[in-house]
Structure 1
Amino acid sequence: MSCITHDFNACRRVLWSLFLIVCVGVTACNAPQDKASPHTQAPTFDPRRLSEEVRTLSSEAFEGRGPGTPGEIKTIEHISARLQADGLQPGGDLKDGKRLWTQAVPLLRAEITGTPTVSLNIGGKSQALTQGQQIALRPALNGDTHVTVKDAPLVFAGYGVKAPGRNWDDFKGLNVKGKILVVLINDPDFETGQGDFGGKAATYYGRWTYKYEEAARLGAAGLLIVHEDAPAAYGWETVKNSYTHDLYDMVRDDPKSAHVPLEGWIQRDLAVALFRQAGLDFDAVKKQAQTRDFKPIDLRANLSADYTVDAKVITTHNIVGRLEGSQRPNETVIYSAHWDHLGVGEPDAKGDRIYNGALDNATGTAALLELGRAFAQAKQKPARSLVFLYTTAEEKNLLGAEYYASKPLYPLAQTVAVINVDSLQPFGPTRDFSVLGDAKSDLLDQLSALAAKWDVRYSPDIMPEAGFFFRGDQFPFAQRGVPAFWFNSGSDRIDGGVAATKAWSSAYFRDSYHQPSDEWHADWPFTGMARDLQIIYTLGSDLANATTWPNWAPDSEYRAARDASADERK
């Protein structure tokens, strides 16, 4: 799961919305169903198989499943062997007229070597900043191998948004050349829940990726994002763990058009102090930034930085299994889950350096393996083709999904839907489900009707302001018009209710998310996954055997892209 954690108060409200249930373990693909299973075509799934697969994938042997590491090789070998044994066909790149199990994904890999030298100059006095503490500098992704910034002026630029369609411009003609911009995370509506950016529901303007891109378009020397737990929807530990070591990006023709030389985050406390020395109150200025009349503010401070970047192109891989359709093989339903995690990194307090990624995302990876097994062993093959897409570098900003969506192995116009599974809850069943984000589509209506057969109700995303929709592998597909969603298990457990989910979610995000302690536990029952996987299987089966094409709601921002390819589906 890419960059999803919470301040502890938000965490207690949210984590229970964060884990989707898609489970594993087929016992008999067309066996008679339990009395509890109302859909006669749904297979049963064995929680023990799910547990064993998660244990394997998150074991020390896989070394945290880091892209471009020995852990990737082991992951590819393991998943490919499982797919082949379960009866699926390779669905990846073509070589000598035959499909491989993988799709090669070239990425720029960049890492800061040594310790960055960073300092603030305020009123003639220099203050050293420590990487990972007050500041988190990202390795340059613009192609530079050495970053040197000397006394660059700091300018506060609100939320860093330039949106002509919303009559919003935080820059107001500011000449940003040679300047370091300081901006807030999320978008201007987060604090009030009202305004031109969807109210509480996050927009893409709130994503840190957008802010770096806009700074690059304007030609700034750098951009620093002020980290606050609630609007970021994750704590500083995630910033430190995710952004201060190696980072990846697409291999771009002009990387400087998407990245400024210096990119990073600063702690809120540092920002408050920075504003105070300039005679400003941080909270008051933040309120100004939430208005259309805001103008950039000189912070009367300068930043210097010096560090070396090791940058090179590596090749990582999406893993692709396919079950060819019996009647309309050129039409495709995709199940997706990212196989990668953070690999080997900084040791925790116990000295553990392997980021095992059990929940995130050995659970989703195991789910796809068992879904593929179920479809492959079914007596009747689906009319449309099914693709099981295990993406790489999701933790590096959805890069494997972005690469597939930009260079699809199977045309997106002929792709019926994408069902994404990530960080599945390994506990008992819930009475509800949700999908992350508030994008409405025919898929959600269809899924809601199916879930009702299991007495499972739809609950809206309880924290749309966190922008989780933009943080899952379904997003690159949605941007290009393909109906796509990220299934979430909901919060109301049959055993323990909402309180049980809240307690567990708070502890997980505090103690385990993107940390070495995200490990498999023998007492996880996985029974809820087994039930929910039946629902997701049935949705995919119905889509694969239909002749209709789901679409986004008429007012969805993704509808136009889908409608533009309508002639290719006639």
Structure 2
Amino acid sequence: MKKLLLAAVALTAIPLLAIAAGPAGIDAQRLSDTVKTIASDEYEGRGPATPGEVKTVAYIIAQMKADGLQPGGDKQPDGTRAWTQDVPLGRFEITGTPSFSYAIGGATQALAQGDDIAVRASMTNVDRVDIENAPLVFLGYGVKAREKNWDDFKGMDLKGKVGIVLINDPDFETGSGDFGGKAMTYYGRWTYKYEEAARQGLAGLIIVHETAPASYGWATVKNSNTNVQFDIVRKKPLEAHPLMEAWIQRDQAAAMLQKAGLDYEALKKLAQTRDFKPVVLTGETFTAKYDVDHKVIVSKNVAGILPGTKHPDELLVYTAHWDHLGVGRPDAKGDKIYNGALDNASGIACLLELARVFGQGPKPERSILFLAVTAEEKGLLGSEYYAANPLYPLATTVGDINMDGAGINGRAHDFTISGSAKLALLDDLTALAATRGRTYSPDPRPEAGSFFRSDHFPFAKRGVPAISFGSGQNLLEGGVTRGKALADAYVKDRYHQPADEWSADWDWSGVVEDLTLLHDLGWKLANSREWPEWAAGSEFKAARDETKGQRK
């Protein structure tokens, strides 16, 4: 799971022939054809380590070659580069029939995988998880933030216990407090909560799902967590993951608490305060038994480069992720293929179209890397691996422009980015947009934590100026009302579901304008001596400043 996509399936369409080319030569038909191809059933949902990956990687490489790019991946023994970067990943899958239940007073309540609870395959390199009658404890939002003088754990010995925590931040419900009000901090992300659970020594952590604070429905949780899981290869995985990681439906969690004499809503309110202390579910225990198949596989980031004519060692990066969920649990219609047309075949279409326009035009002074990353859906793993093992130095990387979910609802008066980060890259984009009569609108749902859910984040946290572009919701046809309705409908009915499929009715006119804008930004940066910076006070500025001497 990741960012809330700022795009949705259009209800009306403008014929493709009417929007065939934008000012930069962006071709709507090519965009549509790419999505139609790699989001087809033939590509089986583009799951990593599947035949769908092999087909997808081959397709992207073929297009990059045709676009005039050069291989930009791993260095070979002869000094040349491959088209790909190897990304070793741990692959984890629950096998057989898992069993989950909780018990109190001699009565046992079973929990159905996918319906009541969504348990992820353990990423701790064990063959079997066997948690027997572990004590249960409610841990508020599961946050330990020293700089905010906030500790939901209060020194309790949690070894061998299973924790229950709420999703998002302690001030999500009230809209004000120490965690940015409605805007989610990293403490609100499910990834953080599992990481902190491992640090606290918990045997397992169960996150309570509610649609509003999670920013997506239960279908997204179920489809994203009950299939194959991936992680970077870790020497000590228990330092990053508890033995069991799970989500649970809100009503099931409330029932668990009620049977221990506790009130869910009252505990939630208490958890919003700094004085909260862990609450033991007296006499109540949790049991989980399931087998895990685990192995190490090698997935691929695809990297095509356009070498700079004057400053080839300085690099601008465009990113998009090629993967989706593959083949998984069938929907009500029996469809098991998670095609991921908008998320994120459309982003790859945008990446390849920009590569074509740059590749067939005048050559830039700085190099431009077009990077299609793997395993975004499993936790930004492809981009995390690249940022930790960069093919080109991050110190001389000008910035990263990420694309995830194209705006196929038509033209918009505005644009946005994921999150609310302040940086010169956004200032440049805003200024260029103004010349085209478009304005910047802040992330319409900062509570969704979108900044931490896209492939620009691994770059950003290492100091590289990075944004994830989003089409605006203030549409020329229907304004914000229609734009928001379409975005909400996409999240409800298609996001991380088999229904995210290509449609001939998509309106690409807005995408043409978006890519023209992103092309203009890239061209400006690739032909200047500008080094965009983070704004003063940004949490990413210090990391960038440490490498300032390496930039001319």
TM class by shorter-chain length? over 0.9
Equivalent position of 1:90 in the other structure: 71
Q: Distance in 2 between matches of 1:269 and 1:525?
A: 39
SS across alignment from 2:184: coil
Structure 1 position 473 matched with structure 2 position 452: no
SS across alignment from 2:391: coil
Q: Distance in 2 between matches of 1:133 and 1:358?
A: 25
Equivalent position of 1:454 in the other structure: 436
Equivalent position of 1:302 in the other structure: 285
Structure 1 gap ranges (5+): 6-13, 20-24, 28-32
- Paired residues for 1:122-161 under 5 Å: 122-161=104-143
SS across alignment from 1:291: coil
Q: Distance in 1 between matches of 2:379 and 2:200?
A: 22
Q: Distance in 2 between matches of 1:16 and 1:76?
A: 25
Q: Distance in 1 between matches of 2:327 and 2:111?
A: 26
Equivalent position of 2:2 in the other structure: 3
Q: Is the 8 A contact 2:24 2:357 kept in 1?
A: yes
Equivalent position of 2:168 in the other structure: 186
Q: Is the 8 A contact 2:342 2:500 kept in 1?
A: yes
Q: Deviations over 1:125-182 (max 9, x none)?
A: 1111111111111111011110001110000111111111111110001000110011
SS across alignment from 1:495: coil
Equivalent position of 2:25 in the other structure: 44
Q: Is the 8 A contact 2:8 2:408 kept in 1?
A: no
What is the total number of aligned residue pairs between the two structures? 544
Query: Which of 338, 359, 362 pairs up with 2:342?
Result: 359
Q: Deviations over 1:498-527 (max 9, x none)?
A: 232233223222221111111111111311
Q: Is the 8 A contact 1:156 1:182 kept in 2?
A: yes
Equivalent position of 2:318 in the other structure: 335
Q: Distance in 2 between matches of 1:471 and 1:15?
A: 13
What residue identity is the alignment partner of 1:536?
Answer: L
SS across alignment from 1:433: strand
Query: Which of 30, 45, 60 pairs up with 1:79?
Result: 60
Equivalent position of 1:325 in the other structure: 308
What residue identity is the alignment partner of 2:52?
Answer: G
SS across alignment from 1:95: coil
Q: Is the 8 A contact 1:26 1:43 kept in 2?
A: no
SS across alignment from 2:118: strand
For structure 1, which segment, 429-438 or 56-65, has the greater mean C-alpha deviation from structure 2 after superposition?
A: 56-65
1:194 offset after TM fit, Å?
A: 1.3
1:26 offset after TM fit, Å?
A: 13
Query: Which of 235, 246, 249 pairs up with 1:253?
Result: 235
- Paired residues for 1:54-453 under 5 Å: 54-96=35-77, 97-300=79-282, 301-378=284-361, 380-453=362-435
Q: Is the 8 A contact 1:337 1:420 kept in 2?
A: yes
What residue identity is the alignment partner of 2:2?
Answer: C
Q: Distance in 1 between matches of 2:328 and 2:252?
A: 26
Q: Is the 8 A contact 1:436 1:461 kept in 2?
A: yes
Q: Distance in 1 between matches of 2:121 and 2:38?
A: 29
What residue identity is the alignment partner of 2:533?
Answer: N
What residue identity is the alignment partner of 2:325?
Answer: L
Q: Is the 8 A contact 2:3 2:454 kept in 1?
A: no
Aligned pair in 2 of structure 1 residues 204, 273: CA closer, same or farther (>3 Å)? same
SS across alignment from 1:220: coil
Q: Is the 8 A contact 2:6 2:407 kept in 1?
A: no
Q: Deviations over 1:249-298 (max 9, x none)?
A: 00011111101111101110011112222222211111111111100000
Q: Is the 8 A contact 1:17 1:490 kept in 2?
A: no
SS across alignment from 1:349: coil
1:85 offset after TM fit, Å?
A: 1.2
Q: Distance in 2 between matches of 1:16 and 1:393?
A: 21
1:15 offset after TM fit, Å?
A: 4.9
Q: Deviations over 1:15-59 (max 9, x none)?
A: 56999xxxxx999xxxxx99xx7xxxx512121111111111111
What residue identity is the alignment partner of 1:3?
Answer: K
The root-mean-square deviation of aligned C-alpha atoms, in Å, is 1.8
SS across alignment from 1:546: coil
What residue identity is the alignment partner of 2:439?
Answer: R
Q: Distance in 2 between matches of 1:525 and 1:286?
A: 43
Q: Distance in 1 between matches of 2:540 and 2:214?
A: 24
Q: Is the 8 A contact 2:9 2:408 kept in 1?
A: no
Q: Distance in 2 between matches of 1:163 and 1:424?
A: 35
Aligned pair in 2 of structure 1 residues 338, 313: CA closer, same or farther (>3 Å)? same
Aligned pair in 2 of structure 1 residues 53, 458: CA closer, same or farther (>3 Å)? same
Structure 1 position 568 matched with structure 2 position 550: yes
SS across alignment from 1:172: coil
Aligned pair in 2 of structure 1 residues 216, 289: CA closer, same or farther (>3 Å)? same
Q: Is the 8 A contact 1:63 1:343 kept in 2?
A: yes
Q: Deviations over 1:391-417 (max 9, x none)?
A: 000011100000000000001111000
What residue identity is the alignment partner of 2:56?
Answer: T
Q: Distance in 2 between matches of 1:440 and 1:434?
A: 12
SS across alignment from 1:153: strand
Q: Distance in 1 between matches of 2:288 and 2:342?
A: 37
Q: TM-score, normalised by structure 2?
A: 0.96
Q: Deviations over 1:420-468 (max 9, x none)?
A: 0001121311000111101110111110000011101111111111101
Q: Deviations over 1:103-138 (max 9, x none)?
A: 000000000001211111112211111111111111
Q: Is the 8 A contact 2:7 2:409 kept in 1?
A: no
Q: Deviations over 1:170-213 (max 9, x none)?
A: 00010001100111111111111111111211111111111111
SS across alignment from 1:385: strand
1:536 offset after TM fit, Å?
A: 0.3
What residue identity is the alignment partner of 1:434?
Answer: T
Structure 2 gap ranges (5+): 11-15
Q: Is the 8 A contact 2:3 2:452 kept in 1?
A: no
Q: Is the 8 A contact 1:180 1:223 kept in 2?
A: yes
What residue identity is the alignment partner of 1:367?
Answer: C
Q: Distance in 2 between matches of 1:367 and 1:447?
A: 17
Structure 1 position 552 matched with structure 2 position 551: no
Q: Is the 8 A contact 1:224 1:264 kept in 2?
A: yes
Q: Distance in 1 between matches of 2:255 and 2:409?
A: 44
Q: TM-score, normalised by structure 1?
A: 0.93
SS across alignment from 1:131: coil
SS across alignment from 1:45: coil
**How many percent identity over aligned positions?**
58
Q: Deviations over 1:523-545 (max 9, x none)?
A: 11311111111100000111111
For structure 1, which segment, 404-413 or 419-428, has the greater mean C-alpha deviation from structure 2 after superposition?
A: 419-428
SS across alignment from 2:95: strand
SS across alignment from 2:124: coil
Aligned pair in 2 of structure 1 residues 253, 409: CA closer, same or farther (>3 Å)? same
Q: Distance in 2 between matches of 1:221 and 1:48?
A: 51
SS across alignment from 2:398: strand
Q: Distance in 2 between matches of 1:512 and 1:338?
A: 18
SS across alignment from 1:532: helix
Q: Deviations over 1:201-227 (max 9, x none)?
A: 111111111111111112111111111
- Paired residues for 1:490-569 under 5 Å: 490-569=472-551
Q: Distance in 2 between matches of 1:562 and 1:187?
A: 27
- Paired residues for 1:5-44 under 5 Å: 15=6, 43-44=24-25
Q: Is the 8 A contact 2:3 2:449 kept in 1?
A: no
Q: Is the 8 A contact 1:18 1:488 kept in 2?
A: no
1:4 offset after TM fit, Å?
A: 4.3
Q: Is the 8 A contact 1:26 1:374 kept in 2?
A: no
What residue identity is the alignment partner of 1:88?
Answer: L
